[in-house]
Amino acid sequence: MASQSLPCFYHPSTVIYLDDNPRFIDELLFNIELGVSHSKTFTHPQEALKALQKEEVINPAAKCLISKPDTDAHKPSEFSQAIQFAPLVSYIENKENENLTSVFVLDYAMPGMTGVELCQKLKSKPFKKILITGQADYDIAVDAFNKGIINRFIMKNDKDFFAKLNQMIGELQQEYFLDLSLAITESIKHTNSAYPLPSTVNARVDMELKRLNCISYCVLDGTGSLCLIDREGRQYLLLIRTPADLQHYIDALSADTKDSDLLHQLQSNEVIPYFGQDDDFWTVKTDDWPQYFYPATIIQAENTYLMTLVEKKIV
C-alpha cells in the first residue's frame, strides 16, 4: 500500500487470472505474492467474460457525496459537495467488498478470443488489466496499451517475469483505488487546499499501516485522518492535524482556564485533542481535558503536520 499519494480508501480485493493453460495458472498462483489480495482463476475466456460482466461496480463515493448549493454569490448556479465519511467506514468494514476485482491478469493467445479482444469488451469496468504476451504479439500489446484497452503488459519469457508481475499488480491495485477515490479527493480539496497530504506525511502513514498490520483504511475527515482496520478486525483512528486545526481548542481553553500547562501543550503542538467524531469539546470540563489529549508526532513538510494514534474502536 506504499505510495506518494494515498487513496481515500483501501481494502483487500480480488485479482483474477485467466490462461487456457491450467499448469501455467498453477505456476502463477505459486509465485504471486498475494498479500491481502484474494485470487480467482479461469481457463476459458468466455467464462471469465461472463463473470466479469456480471460483477457489480461499487463505489462508495455515491453515498459519501451530497450536492448542496454553492455559497459563493458569484456562482449561484454552481453546486459543491458535502462529504459524509461514515459510509466509507461501513464500506471498508463490509467483507463482501473484498470480492470486488481490482486487477485482471490474462494471456493474449487463447482459443476463441484474444486477450485484447476480451479487454476491449471489459473496457468500461474499473479494474485494471495486465496482458501477458509473447514476442510475436508485442506490437499488438503496445497498441492496446496506447489505446487504453490494457493498463500494463509483460512478456511471458521475461527473466524477471514473476517479480515484475507482482510489482505491476501492487501498483495497479493502488491506481484502482486512487481512481475510485477521485470524486472524494476532489471534494475534500474544495474545502482543504492542502489535500491530498504531502508525500512526507503519506510515508509516515504507510509506516503506521505496516506497523499495525492494517489491511484496510479510509479517510475520516477533511484533514486526512484515517480509520484503520488490522488483520484481526481491530480499528484505530490515525489523527492528522495542522497547528491551525488546534486553534479553536486554544481559544476555548484560554477563555475558560488559567492552566498554563494545558495551553502550553496545545500551543507547542505536543498533543492532539480528540473528543470523538462530533468534537463535542464544549461538553467537557476543562479540568477533564487531559484525558482527551494524545501525544503528537510532528512531521515537517511544506507545512507542519501533527499525527497521533487513538487505539480504540471507532463508534
pLDDT tens digits along 141-180: 999 999 999 999 999 999 999 999 999 999 999 999 999 9
SS3 154: strand
The pLDDT of residue 69: 56
Say if 1 falls within a structural domain.
no
The pLDDT of residue 1: 44
State how many domains the chain has: 2
Say if 102 falls within a structural domain.
yes
Same domain, 19 and 155: yes
What is the band of 78 on the pLDDT scale with cuts at 50, 70, 90?
very low
The pLDDT of residue 199: 92
Q: How far apart are CA 186 and CA 191, in angstroms?
A: 9
Cα 153–Cα 156–Cα 160 angle in degrees, nearest 5: 90
Domain span at 284: 192-315
Say if 4 falls within a structural domain.
no
Point out the domain boundary residue: 172, 190, 208.
190
What is the band of 18 on the pLDDT scale with cuts at 50, 70, 90?
very high
Residue-wise pLDDT tens digits, 45-62 = 999 999 999 999 888 988
Q: What is the DSSP string of 211-251?
A: HTTEEEEEE-STT--EEEEETTS-EEEEEEE-GGGGHHHHH
Task: Say if residue 196 is preceded by a cis peptide, omega within 30 of 0.
Answer: yes
How far the first Cα of the chain sits from its last, in Å, is 25
Whether 26 has a pLDDT exceeding 60, the answer reads yes
Residue-wise pLDDT tens digits, 229-287 = 999 999 999 999 999 999 999 999 888 777 789 999 999 999 999 998 888 999 999 88
Place of cell 481494502: 11
Same domain, 21 and 153: yes
Q: In this predicted structure, which of 10-14, 67-71, 126-130 has the lowest mean pLDDT?
A: 67-71
The pLDDT of residue 190: 85
**For the residues 274-303, what does the mean pLDDT come to?**
92
What is the band of 299 on the pLDDT scale with cuts at 50, 70, 90?
very high
How distant, in Å, are the alpha carbons of 81, 124, 301 from that of 271? Answer: 31, 47, 18
Q: What is the DSSP string of 28-50?
A: HHHH---TT-EEEEES-HHHHHH
Say if 119 falls within a structural domain.
yes
Same domain, 282 and 176: no
Cβ contacts of 249 within 8 Å, gap of 6 or more: 266, 273, 281
The pLDDT of residue 161: 96
Q: Is the dihedral of CA 209, 214, 215, 219 positive or negative?
A: negative
Output the CA torsion 54→56→57→59 (10° steps): -170
Point out the domain boundary residue: 149, 172, 190.
190
Residue-wise pLDDT tens digits, 205-238 = 999 999 999 999 999 999 999 999 999 999 999 9
Say if 68 falls within a structural domain.
no
Quote the mean pLDDT of the chain.
90
**For the residues 81-106, what does the mean pLDDT come to?**
93
List the grid coordinates of 251.
481559544
Point out the domain boundary residue: 163, 190, 217.
190
